[in-house]
Structure 1
Amino acid sequence: MSHLAVAGLQLDLQAGDNLDRISDEVAAAKRRLSWVDLIVLGELAAYGPSVAYAQEPGGPAETRLRAVARDNRVWLVGGSIFERVGDQVFNTCPVIDPTGEVVLKYRKIYPFRPYEAGVAGGSECMTFDIPKIGRVGVSICYDMWFPETSRTLAWMGAEAIVHPGLTNTIDRDVELSIARASAAQNQCYFVDVNLAGQLGNGRSAVYGPGGEVIYQAGSGRDVIAAELDLGYVRRVRERGWHGLGQVLKSFRDGPSTYPPYREGAVSAPLTALGPLEKPGANLDRAGGADAPASSPRPSQYDKKEG
């Protein structure tokens, strides 16, 4: 058997403790859709985008999510939580099996800098295996803007990528094009689950290994349930989508190291871009008389996007 039944929960959440709501929504989804194997939450669904909610590993949020997975006998990709390890905070996605055991914790490699301030980046792409079904990769929001992350997951054998996100900004449409391209480029399913309500603008989506649109949600609460045929992924990778490009084979057989990734490589054009920092207002740069005397009060996460 190689079918993976997934439900992405696009929840209309608020900043603050959402764990009771998440528990109820997962239970309701599993009751209604008993055939679902894996449930995916949006990024930072548990509390929203404030690092003030950062917890130690094994803290209350992780404990509660483990109980939710165990009580409903379902694989759970728990969105993400801010996790404090020593003097660092990571944006961490726990993946929990139906017995309530944490099988991996993926740390977002690319925090949304300069807005996701005070959050350290992880360093390792991660996958997990669902016995007798297949291999799944994990990515968080801004990670997918860097194609190396999705390609590495495919290189590791991921046949589906689950991607919790938190976006409420004008670039959501661009993100959907990236998600769809990531599916086609890596010949895999791509399950992109955003938040709705006060935190996100929704439009979660599922794409197939040819880049085909399986489902795109609207902006409100939605439960996106789909059965992913991982055998189809394997056939597409072997033969090409409808007999067309065998992308991963060509990548395998092509140049092993591109110039940007060679040891010691330096790009003068990229160096010339300057530091990674928040852009200033045009009036501030021009020194205009109407420039504000002080910076506006930032939101919890400024752009509130992964």
Structure 2
Amino acid sequence: MIHGAKHLRAFLAVAKLKSFTLAARDLHVSQPTLSVQIQQLEQHLNVQLFERDRRHVRLSPDGQRLFPEIEKLYEATQRLFQANSNHLPTPVHLRLGVLPSIAAAVLPQVLPPFKKTYPHIHIEIHDAVDLNLIKMLKSHEIEFALGAHLSTEKNIRYTPWKEDTMSVFYPIGHPIEQISAPCLTDIIQYPQVVTTLNTSVRQIVDAALHALSLKMEIAVEAHYLSTAAALVQSGLGLAILPTSASQAVCMTHLRSTPIAAPSLKRQLVVLQRENQSPSLAAQQFIQFLLNFSTS
């Protein structure tokens, strides 16, 4: 039996990923179930949609001809479901990778209104550093990622999202509090609580110090912002962190001040696989995110 959107979605997943194994994983169904759905759709349309051998899956001539029409039909079906409150859309699973700093500071603001608008989209968050986000993206563990644009990776598309400034975080009463616009030379007079080398924040800080031929005394390294903030609060040192971190960590005994250093900024981006159209759910999340950032 053909169940509309489910069979169309199965066809689109196999066509885009060129693999029944990856498509089944992406749709959270077993591979035999996916194969049956494709067979049912082929029988219903009376065409062969894919050409298969042991190593490859590719669209047949009929599959290539029907692909744009099926894609349009699926997207129109999804829009119809969303427009009609009496017909709930099929639940959709969306996996995204996020930098820990974004996961803690930004997602708590974005996700509640997004879930109200798209309650059928189930979101699975994978927080990781930039290098691991790229690996997960290439292995199809996630559909897209929110990261920092530190370098250009082959076969990855970068869409600018927002600029992230840096601030110095310190315990209440620390001498740095007396400086209204501290610069790097002011800050590195004191021991530093830094993030680990594979984080975008650390790479940006190290690059800024190197450009000015400055060195800092590292008191301790931490992977997560919450850990770094707690260590600053304990008096181990100061920390240079994204300004938005003040929304994600406990600031009861901490304060933060923007740093007077134009180079201490990072460009946040949406990362996607090149030459692969995002799912409708991914398109909706990305557009919502971009609109939210500019509102």
Same fold (TM over 0.5): no
Tell me the TM-score normalised to structure 1 length.
Answer: 0.20
State which structure, 1 or 2, has the greater radius of gyration over its C-alpha atoms. 2
> Which structure dedicates a bigger proportion of its chain to helix?
2
